[in-house]
Structure 1
Amino acid sequence: MDNFFDLGGDSIKAIQIASRAFQAGYKLDMKDLFQYPTVAALAPHMHEVRRMANQEEVSGETALLPFSIGSLRRSASVRSTLIRRSCSIALRALRRRRFGRYGLPCEAS
Structure 2
Amino acid sequence: MALPLREMLTTMVEEDGADLYLSVGARPTLRTGAGISELGETVLTPADTEAYCKEILDDRQLGEFLLTREMNLAFGLAGLGRFRTNIFMQRGVVSLVIRQVRLDIPTIE
Q: Name the TM-score, length of structure 1 as normaliser.
A: 0.24
* Between structures 1 and 2, the one with greater helix share: 1
* Between structures 1 and 2, the one with greater strand share: 2
Task: For CA contacts below 8 A with separation 6 or more, give which structure has more relative contact order.
Answer: 2
Q: Name the TM-score, length of structure 2 as normaliser.
A: 0.24
